[in-house]
Structure 1
């Protein structure tokens, strides 16, 4: 099934050169018809597909979809709108990015597919580092799995500059102990957006990331 028309892509291409409230309000009906409503339908379908494998995922699309409005409070760029549409499909939804899930970003440039932990609390980070240090080989085996590496490459995230004394030995064995975030990123061409295989392709990514996401989920608890 095709969830988006070419106008989804064209809307954001035009928005890039008209990123102001006047243009957006003049194109509000177009935004609703070509971007917002089809995206919510698409996310609902993604949730349904994931629930076939993980029935514990109980969340609505409206709780996963992020607003198109940018947070410009601390940014030099005061453009009011994002040039992409995003959703965080997890048990925590968009309000809790510490919960590993499937983060999707659709834009005219690419389709971004991300997983892992973005906003981990100090307690969650301690628990995760403890689990990794207890058995670093298990963690390394997951993130070096062939298909995971092909789709996502490596674990990313900000790292601390000075390793605390209690983690120094573990850090020598597994340098990712120094991370403050544990996420990974895959990418597909933007042509996938209007493809009938969009859901199937994204579910391939979800299945590959699932073991790592489950490991992280258990570890942070």
Structure 2
């Protein structure tokens, strides 16, 4: 489980997102960081039975830096107001495969998975896999337990026109229009403080795994 103090730090950071405050409260950051690392390590150890590639993987290989890349951002505040970790078949900083993501942010916690904005070759491969194996894909995303937990795939990145090479009457056309293939499950902050917090994440991973595996089959990872 996580400690409430980790959320308290993120709340204060959101209100005081500047280097002087961060430097003055670095010890609180280090405590929060260690707390999140311990939680992610526990998740990774439990997830090894489902995803053998995670064997021996450490939290430091999964957790994203708290420092923002502000070079092209309108918001120039230097720090993220959340803690996140991504893991799967891909190596650290090589997001070329589908995987899983844990996002801890007071008021906006979630667990998700899939492949966000694949490159042109990856996008083509995924669309082709969905088209060729529509029945298998439909059985995954249309499963009652999957829909109950995640709803539908995220629709933020989607073509308004038909993707090249596909007709409007293709039964998979609404999925083929997507440019990202991800799902997410909103979580309450308080759920991370309970003793079954790791199990909560593992239950989500188990439900997502066929979806993530399907995508990785498409991109041959």
State whether TM-score is above 0.5. Answer: yes
Instruction: Label 1:89 to 1:98 Cα distance change in 2 as closer, same or farther (>3 A).
Output: same
Unaligned runs of 5+ residues in structure 2 are none
Verify the 8 A CA contact 2:61 2:92 in the aligned structure 1.
yes
Structure 2 counterparts to residues 1-221 of structure 1, below 5 A: 2=1, 4-33=2-31, 35-58=32-55, 59-157=57-155, 158-168=157-167, 171=170, 173-221=172-220
Q: The residue matched to 1:9 in structure 2 has which SS?
A: helix
Superposition RMSD in Å: 1.7
Count of residue pairs the alignment pairs up: 218
Instruction: Tell me which moved more, 172-181 or 118-127.
Output: 172-181
What is the distance in 2 between the residues matched to 1:123 and 1:170?
Answer: 24
Superposed CA offset, 1:130-179 (max 9, x none):
11111312211210111111111111141233324412257454321111
* Higher relative helix content: 1
Secondary structure of 2:130 counterpart: helix
Q: CA deviation at 1:97?
A: 2.7
Query: What do residues 102-149 of structure 1 show as CA deviations (whole Å, max 9, x unaligned)?
Result: 100001113210101113121111111111111312211210111111
SS of 1:41 mapped into structure 2: helix
Give the TM-score normalised by structure 1: 0.92
Structure 1, unaligned runs of 5 or more: none
